[in-house]
Chains A and B, each alone.
Chain A
Amino acid sequence: MEYCVLAVIAGEERYGYEIVHILQEMGLATPEGTIYPLLTRLKKEGMVHSRWIQSDQGNPRKYYSITEAGMSSLREFKSNWLQFSGAVSKIMEEVD
């Protein structure tokens, strides 16, 4: 799940609710509350940056962006994943 979160913020800085919403729209049903501890862990590991921005509605939002280390880790995962999913797809093609 952490790589999915990194992928969601790879192109654009986003805040928690937005990240949860995007993941849910993509069919990744995950308990909403677990995303925030995950983001905190990614921040501690240096994979993401965060900053507070006051929203138009008045609520402070914590925006997350990916770091160089996070992007490097994400690229590595993507490469491995594409290789793995490609192999699985080939095997599955054999199934009627």
Chain B
Amino acid sequence: MTSEKVLEYYIKDLEQELAGLSVGERQEILTEIRTHLVEKWKQQGDETSAGMLNVIEEFGDARGIAREYTGGGSVQKSSDSLPSWLVVALTVFLWPVGIVLAWLSSQWRTKNKLIATLILPVLLVTLIVFNLAAYSVDTGRVTEFSHEYSQGGAEFEMVEQRGPARWVTTLASVINILVLISLIGSPVITGVYLAVTKIG
């Protein structure tokens, strides 16, 4: 994920938390905070998405900042009334719904929401890339050798195929199965991650 995406997620999060303010007021706040985050990100010398995450982490939780703007009277949203265990359970059984609710909720930091969202796609991409690589190895290196020989007056032709070593294909299969299991279990992994990283 690019640093711009990370920044946009945070700004979006903050915008939702400031929903009770007027559009003009909200846009002014968001522009000012965006300038701060970009400026610090450029000056700290780590112009990566991880660097942007650090800058955001130091800046503070979107909900806490929104509360400061609204004088402690937080802008209540329907998702805030949802208990965290329900969001976690929905993530496990209905992954997209759970992730959307986690984003709408202020019970997790933006960084944790990002990581929770990325677990499944990263595993999926890993599986696809790994399979593509394994396929290219399997099809690219197979070579056929034919040998003719005679036995008891009859002539035979033996065709031998040489490909990658057996241990390579076995290891590839094992990794493939592990990634596949992780992918299938990723909603559970994500749910556990959300349960562990809940604020408070």
Contact = CB atoms under 8 A, between A and B. Distances in A.
A60 B27 CA distance: 12
Contact-residue size bin, chain A (C-beta under 8 Å from the other chain): 10 to 19
Determine the main DSSP class of B at the interface with A: helix
Given A17-B35, A59-B35, A60-B31, A34 B40 contact: no
Nearest to B36: A17
A62 B25 CA distance: 13
B31 to A, nearest CB: 6
B29 interface: yes
B60 interface: yes
A79 interface: no
Interface in B1-43: 28-29, 31-36, 38-40, 42
Given A31-B60, A33-B65, A57 B29 contact: no
Contacts of B64: 31, 33-34
Interface string B33-59: 111101110100000000000000011
User: What are the 10 closest A-B residue pairs judged by CB atoms, nearest first?
Assistant: A33-B60, A37-B68, A33-B65, A59-B35, A37-B69, A33-B59, A31-B60, A17-B36, A32-B59, A62-B32
Interface of B: 28-29, 31-36, 38-40, 42, 58-61, 64-65, 68-69, 71
